[in-house]
Amino acid sequence: MNMHLSLAPLISLVAGILILVMPRLLNYIVAIYLIVIGLIGLFGAGGMR
Q: What is the pLDDT of residue 34?
A: 85
Mean pLDDT on 22-45: 83
The C-alpha torsion from 19 through 22 and 26 to 32, rounded to 10°, is -90
**C-alpha to C-alpha distance for 5 and 36, rounded to whole angstroms:** 19
**C-alpha to C-alpha distance for 26 and 19, rounded to whole angstroms:** 6
29: enclosing H helix or E strand: helix 26-43
As a whole number of angstroms, the longest Cα–Cα distance in the chain is 40
- pLDDT higher at 20 or 4: 20
CB 19 within 8 A of CB 29: yes
Mean pLDDT on 29-38: 84
